[in-house]
Amino acid sequence: MIQYLGRYVISGSNSYIMDVASPGTDTIPSVAVAGLRKTKGYFGSTLYLFNLYLYLFSNMAGSNASKELNINEPMSGDHGFFTPVQSPPAGSLLSMYDENAPVPQIFEPITIRSTTFQNRVWVSPMCQYSCPKTGELTDWHLVQLGSYASRGASLIICEATAVSPEGRNTMEDAGLWTASQVPSFRRVVNFIHSQGQKAGIQLQHCGRKASVTAPWLGHQPANKEENGFPDDLISPSNRPYKNDGLWPIPTAMTKEMIQKSIGDFVNAAKLAVEAGFDVIEIHGAHGYLIHQFCSPLTNKRTDKYGGSLENRARFALEVVQGIRAAIPDKTLLFYRISTTDWIPDRESWTPEQSVRLCQLLQPLGVDLIDVSSGGLVPDQQLPPLRPGYQAHLSQGIKDGVPGLLTGSVGMIRDGKTAEDIVASGKADVVIIAREFARNPSLVLNIAYELGVRVKWPTQLHRSQPRYNDPDI
């Protein structure tokens, strides 16, 4: 007969000390430590009995403590690879270094629908012109976007992604118009989620600004020999970006072409949901197709898609309606807007018209306006560029559309600027591009600048400020 008594076993007239004793096992594990041997008789001599009790007593605490295992647990979810738990996610507020200091608002969580972001410093879409002609994301995007996710950005928005082949800026743009492209996006989303962060995607159609070379090649119109597609450009009216003989004249869209384009946006949104994105942002800014419909500078139509503000906004509204109806209620829907064309000397798109558009977007289920400006025409008259120079435009939309969330963009390079924008009520979040490109650890650096102790990536915990390494 075998009896299991804690960490020792009695078998017949012999007793053994065990490291492990598993009830229900017929075999006896290997005998434990030196100095404790099989006894003679039931417990044998007094010496062995004493040694047995001494061993059991000394290991009672250890036995209880062993139940509190220190295991490098994986992050929950099927990510396709092992990664340690990030709990809470990097970039989460832990405390202030000065316990009497107020918590900066950019490190207070924000919840939109059912999605909570642990901070308000987000990554703006940044085109990389690094995709194959078939539009899939690559290892470059995994590393680029993954670096922001692992270092505390609570939302990473993937670069502007074309909803159709002719909607691309360059032949090397990201694209999401067919199911075969989804796995490459899902791979990046999985990594972002594995770090406890949220993933967004910006959907766009470039309209008359399509078919150009990459910026490091001049960002000029690309002919067919340069992988361009100048014959495929479309726009609400047949007006080129520049009247210089180099920029192609786009085809004025028929009503059938308009409906196809709306369908392309909706299809891309469905594919984005399939890839796992938490946020879909519609690119209605920077002179691309939706902006071209909204502005009287580029929309000279006389049908129901041109003329009055409501008619010029119709294309944008139908895109929003189509996408909102096609995606789950939990999926967030953002809209990037160019609040002004920066053209003061003739009829153009203005902040007042932007407020009116946002009043129309809000009841359609748009959750946040990503507030930018310009990009429609080459003769725009930008104001002097300074940190946060577009924040007042976000303020105008917040004032004109109560309850609508906004994000501010533009030359936000440090914690003070970011906090000033949010704390003053000009925006609810800041959405940053180039400073993240310069410094993927921007959230962690901003936190330290503002005296905030945040959760660092688990694997990099020894690198956090004021860390005392017990092993040194």
Residues assigned a catalytic role: 288
Whole-number Å distance between alpha carbons of 222 and 380: 23
Cis peptide before 221, with omega less than 30 degrees from 0?
no
DSSP notation for 352-392: HHHHHHHHHHGGGT--EEEEE---S-TT--PPPP-TTTTHH
- Helices 255-275 and 314-326 sit at what angle, rounded to 10 degrees? 30
Specify burial of residue 450 (Cβ count, 10 A radius: 0-12, 13-18, 19+): buried
HSE of 16, CA atoms in CB hemisphere, 13 A: 16
> Among 358, 356, 384, which residue's Cα sits nearest to residue 371?
358
Give the distance from CA 228 to its chain's centroid. Answer: 30
| Sequence-separated contacts (24+) of 389-395 with Cβ below 8 Å | 390/339, 391/421, 391/426, 391/427, 392/426, 393/339, 393/340, 393/351, 393/354, 394/369, 394/421, 394/426, 394/427, 395/425, 395/426, 395/427
Task: Report the alpha-carbon distance of residue 95 to residue 451 in Å, rounded.
Answer: 9
Residue type, 132: P
| 43, 52 contact by CB (below 8 A) | yes
Amino acid occupying residue 85 = V
Burial class (CB in 10 A: 0-12, 13-18, 19+), 208: buried
Question: Which run of H or of E encompasses 123?
Answer: strand 121-123
